[in-house]
Amino acid sequence: MTSVHPRDNSIAGEDWARADFYSLLAQLFAGRVDDSFLARFREIDPSSVDLASPLGFEFSELLRAVKHVDSAAIKSEYDDSFIGVGRPEIFLFGSYYQTGFLNEKPLIKLRNDLAALGLERDESMVETEDHLAFLCEVMRYLILADDPPVAFSVQRAFFHNHIAGWYEEAMQAIEHGGKTDFYKVVGRLAKVFFDVETQSFDFEHAV
């Protein structure tokens, strides 16, 4: 997934914002949070965020959260909640929420859809392709791809088939997880963002 628009082109600002959000969520749900990541967030001026919108409010809550946590604590929380010993407390895999099991038919369908898009799993990746972080990376690619560009209808189909049907349950699991603190904030932000995406896709499909 390497052929995407450079930042200095005519792609719509709204799509850049969507892609940036997907990239952010991919990094958070992959557990790739280091001190430099947190430092960049602490440089953001909270007054620049629109608190009137649900998405802006939840983003401001994330800005607030990163001021009171370090990367070691986040890694510990991530490992305890999403990796665990034997069975994680919370799953981030679509197949689990769609069938109750891992590596089931939804994963096969996902792999077929990825192949149709000319995408394949990086062999160095530990998780299966239905992990939420990977799916967010794919959505970012679909928004920014330029060889060839990916139609909005294709983005909608991928989101509908592989994220829309289970993200709410996953975010609820995070909200009620006994070991989540920082990731409760992440989960609320993700739910609001995915809600916005759902509404946008549904609106465009209806007109």
CATH number of the domain that 173 lies in? 1.10.3480.10
pLDDT band with cut points at 50, 70 and 90 for residue 1? very low
**Contact between residue 73 and residue 82 where contact means Cβ atoms under 8 Å apart:** no
Nearest one of 144, 143, 114 to 129, comparing CA atoms: 114
Pairwise CA distance, residues 97 & 102, whole Å: 9
- Tokens 């802006």 belong to 56
CA 203, distance to chain mean position in Å, is 21
Q: What is the pLDDT of residue 124?
A: 76
Residue 5 within any structural domain of the chain: no
Tokens, residue 63:
């800005």
Does residue 124 lie within any of the structural domains?
A: yes
**Lowest mean pLDDT segment, chosen from 11-20, 89-98, 198-207:** 198-207
Number of domains composing the chain? 1
Give the pLDDT of residue 2: 43
pLDDT band with cut points at 50, 70 and 90 for residue 123: confident
- The reply to whether 108 falls in a domain is yes
Q: Specify whether the CB–CB gap between 90 and 82 falls below 8 A.
A: yes
79 is a domain residue = yes
Which amino acid, 207?
V
> Is residue 29, in this structure, part of any structural domain at all?
yes
Residue indicated by tokens 């996953």: 170
Report the alpha-carbon distance of residue 34 to residue 141 in Å, rounded: 23
Residue 179 lies in a domain: yes
Average pLDDT over residues 60-72: 94
8-state DSSP, 4: B
Q: Does the residue 8 lie in any domain?
A: no
**DSSP symbols for 50-88:** -TTSHHHHHHHHHHHHHTT--HHHHHHHHIIIII-SSS-
Tokens at 45, concatenated: 């001026």
Asked if residue 75 belongs to a domain, the reply is yes
Task: For residues 125-132, give the mean pLDDT.
Answer: 92
Domain that residue 117 falls in: 13-206
